[in-house]
Amino acid sequence: MTWLITGGAGFIGAHVVRSMLAVGERVAVYDDFSTGDPARVPGGVTVVKGSVLDGALLRATLSDLGVDGVVHLAAKKQVGESVERPLYYYRENVQGLHTLLEAAADTGVRHFLFSSSAAVYGMPDVDLVTEDTPCAPVNPYGETKLAGEWLVRAAGRAHGMTTACLRYFNVAGAANEDLADTGVFNLVPMVFEKMTQGSAPVIFGDDYDTPDGTCVRDFIHVEDIASAHLAAARALPGRKPGSDLTVNIGRGEGVSVREMITLIGEVTGYGSAAAPVSAPRRIGDPARVVASADRIRAELGWTARHSPHAMVESAWAGWCARRPSARWAVEATE
């Protein structure tokens, strides 16, 4: 089989590419490089530069490469930006997915794996979020992911494609320094940035109904995200045409924002220099979002392997590889 991985030069996509290559799967990468880095793609892998809005190029790529399955990770994913630019997010994430699915149906692709998000759940008031928890996204980004799931399932049923929608939670870590996240949009790199600039990390809201008053999240190592994509991709060919598998990808364990910041201080050596300051709550932040990982374990035999400590340690190594002065700053705090 040949898999086309859209967004395969991105942070998560590059890990998926490496994971699939490691077990002998044939892969090709399709990426517009708006955020992806060509250097992340291993040598020998076919790379096509293009937008998911370019139907003609997608059809040619799928046909010329004899693609059997698609792993679709290419998307815009910043919540705040989605609120400011909803039309842009719907065009890129929903219209782009529509264009890709249409090309896949026209060229006989049999399997389609969609990268979704826990953002589809919105603000669930439950201890563990199952796949049956009602979906009620609270921002355009989450809305585009939920609409994407509907579109993927409908296209799969109509065209006989087996499909999977993977809802993953808070991603961190790196397989190696070369694949580390270069963005500063998630909690771990945001804390790194504050610390290395000599500023205090910020906690948005310390009065939630949680053990320490801060939000609780399910942090998942990007290598575990990649292995879950691999497990789903390898399972799809054995499933009934037109069927769908929707699963959470998480550890099933919550870590509070304050606990994560404390861990970051310990792992990096910043210690008390990483002590956070509190700011008012942000609109739309739920108190607790932790995955139930029972279904993916039952359906795919998959379980997360990496601890929060491993996530922070590997993410910090990648951060310092790009910013050597970060380690020097640690010495100044000792």
Q: Sign (positive/negative) of CA torsion 325, 330, 333, 334?
A: negative
SS3 state at 256: strand
Write the Ramachandran bin of 273: left for phi over 0, alpha for psi from -120 to 50, otherwise beta.
Answer: alpha
The Cβ of residue 166 has, within 10 Å, a number of other Cβ atoms equal to: 23
Give the catalytic positions in this structure: 141
Candidates 34, 36, 35; CA nearest to 45 is 36
- Name the residue type at position 89: Y
The C-alpha atoms of residue 265 and residue 297 are separated, in whole angstroms, by 32
The C-alpha atoms of residue 9 and residue 89 are separated, in whole angstroms, by 20
Counted residue by residue, the chain has a size of: 334
Q: Specify whether the CB–CB gap between 33 and 57 falls below 8 A.
A: no
Q: Specify whether the CB–CB gap between 279 and 203 falls below 8 A.
A: yes
Q: Specify whether the CB–CB gap between 222 and 298 falls below 8 A.
A: no
The Cβ of residue 211 has, within 10 Å, a number of other Cβ atoms equal to: 11
